[in-house]
Amino acid sequence: MRKFGVSFNRITHVFISHLHGDHFFGLVGLLSTMHLMGRVKAIHIYGPVGLKEIIQMQLEVAKGKLAYDLIFREIEPEETSVLFEDDKVSVACFPLVHKIPTSGFRIEEKERERTLLAEKARVDGVKLEYFHRLKKGEDIEEDGTTISHLDYTKAAEPPKSYAYCSDTALSDKTVAAVAGVNFLYHEATFIEALRDRAKATKHSTARDAAEVAKRAKVGKLLMGHLSARYDSGKQHLEESKEVFLNSECVEDGQVIEVI
């Protein structure tokens, strides 16, 4: 995060998919670093049953005390529910199929207010106090005249959505859970030559990830979590594009605009 210029203080919520080490071992180090940097704002942590005890034990054994609160919410293995919601986005979890309980996450923007055509409204003498109602899609009745919101606003951009599937085998449940998202991140640990290995470890191949993307009718597939045995994602990309053309292998630090 430091390398790519991402501020630690921007983090307010952390979502942990499962308790395999490569997905949570770094968490206590991150929390401790935030403490050393003077953080005082609480952090919400969402993860599997047992994560809270692990983090608390690590801090206690190290005699570490954070200057801010940790607020835990434990996710039940088969739970599909909204974990977090504010006026802009919601984050829901859903079960994946792995060797231990694992959750995927779906992040969705809320429907936004319509965009006010402010200059047109001012020129036409629309009162300022009507602006917020027009943006909400309301029509205004004034002196027997209707001021239509369609005349003074335009529809906002459609809400965007993103789904994150960490370690998982191919699953119909996953297809249903990520249906229609703009962008899907899906692990693609192996290529087809190691399908037996994928089955044994309950991981996905690039073709599996592409199948999910195709069947779920997502906008774009982002593949990661490639096995270290591969020098690049070239073979993964070749296999995935045979099934789902709009595929990409992603790298640390890459910035992708969800459109």
Residue 259 has pLDDT above 80, yes or no: no
Query: How would residue 237 be classed by pLDDT, with cut points 50, 70 and 90?
Result: very high
Task: Name the nearest CA neighbour of 46 among 87, 10, 15, 8.
Answer: 15
**Mean pLDDT value of segment 86-111:** 96
Q: Is 22 an annotated catalytic residue?
A: yes
CA distance 121 to 230: 58
Kindly report the pTM of this predicted structure.
0.87
**Mean pLDDT value of segment 180-189:** 98
Residue 101's pLDDT is 95
Residue 18 — φ and ψ, nearest 5°? -165, 175
Share above pLDDT 70 across residues of the chain, in percent, rounded to a whole number:
100
Residues β-bridged to residue 27: none
Residue 191's pLDDT is 98
Which range has the worst mean pLDDT, 13-17, 94-98, 157-161? 157-161
**Mean pLDDT value of segment 19-24:** 96
Residue 201 has pLDDT above 90, yes or no: yes
CA distance 115 to 192: 48
Residue 113's pLDDT is 86
**1 vs 180: which has the higher pLDDT:** 180
Residue 205: DSSP 8-state: B
- Transcribe 30-82 into DSSP letters: HHHHHHHTT--S-EEEEEETTHHHHHHHHHHHTT---SS-EEEEEEPTT--EE
In the set 22, 69, 124, 172, the catalytic residue is 22
Question: Residue 5's CB: how many other CB atoms inside 10 A?
Answer: 7
Dihedral sign (CA 214, 216, 218, 220):
negative
Token representation of residue 163: 């789904």
Residue 82 — φ and ψ, nearest 5°? -80, 125
Query: For residue 112, what are the contacts with CB-CB under 8 A and spacing of at least 6?
Result: 156, 157, 159
Residue-wise pLDDT for 115-160, tens only, equals 999 999 999 999 999 999 999 899 999 888 999 999 999 988 899 9
Query: For residue 109, what are the contacts with CB-CB under 8 A and spacing of at least 6?
Result: 88, 89, 159, 160, 161
Domain spans of the chain?
A: 1-75, 78-110+159-259, 115-154
- Pairing between β-strand 220-224 and β-strand 247-249 as defined by DSSP bridges: parallel
CA distance 131 to 60: 54
Which range has the worst mean pLDDT, 48-62, 130-144, 194-208? 130-144
Residue 108 has pLDDT above 80, yes or no: yes
Residue 151: DSSP 8-state: H
Fold of 78-110+159-259: Metallo-beta-lactamase; Chain A (3.60.15)
Question: Residue 130's CB: how many other CB atoms inside 10 A?
Answer: 18
Residue 142's pLDDT is 87
